[in-house]
Structure 1
């Protein structure tokens, strides 16, 4: 366990029985991630950045209500994580920060004819990450 200088915001990250137990200290919830080798169908990179507590694992999740495009809730009971080299985790986090969280979002960004700052950033990240998201 780690704590900040005032003893608040306790962070926890531990691995037991092929599961990761992570509490960023932001909320009082401990997320449990099953460690897997690749991204299962209908899962995507969960954009929580460094809040997972590790630079060696990338968190992945699935929609809680996939039929509702305006609901961004994730299913906390099916969280998963993949161990990757730190550099690849960093690249996937960068892609997730602009919305490239799955193979389908990467393909959509590459097909987009839109021009502009965000569209160009998404396309750039999609090109870098399409291979990682499909392996």
Structure 2
């Protein structure tokens, strides 16, 4: 018996929380005693705020990347995940939510392109800089980020 069936039928858990498992949203159609609810969310650009209001039904979209950003996942990981999501959406409109190919992107994978700031740092010899030059480099790097 799978975990979800065990939680619903044997343990009769009152709550199961998942952030973005599309497959779980289909359970109320297949099993008794299961209902989908979600928290209201307000989006503004790339930011999101979750409200303290529980609504019936599954969320209309996945907020997995927004939640990851709120949790402090590195920006390059979020950027790579967005790229992967776009690739999956190009395969099929539902692919991002339903495709399971047995592989998972590593959260620690190196992004495909190196940032200009990283390239500049790789070519920098900090021991050869005067204090003034070091300060100038800080400002230069800040502008590249």
TM-score normalised per structure 1: 0.25
Q: Which has the higher contact order (CA 8 A, sep 6+)?
A: 1
Structure richer in helix, relative to its length = 2
From the two aligned structures, give the one with the greater strand fraction. Answer: 1
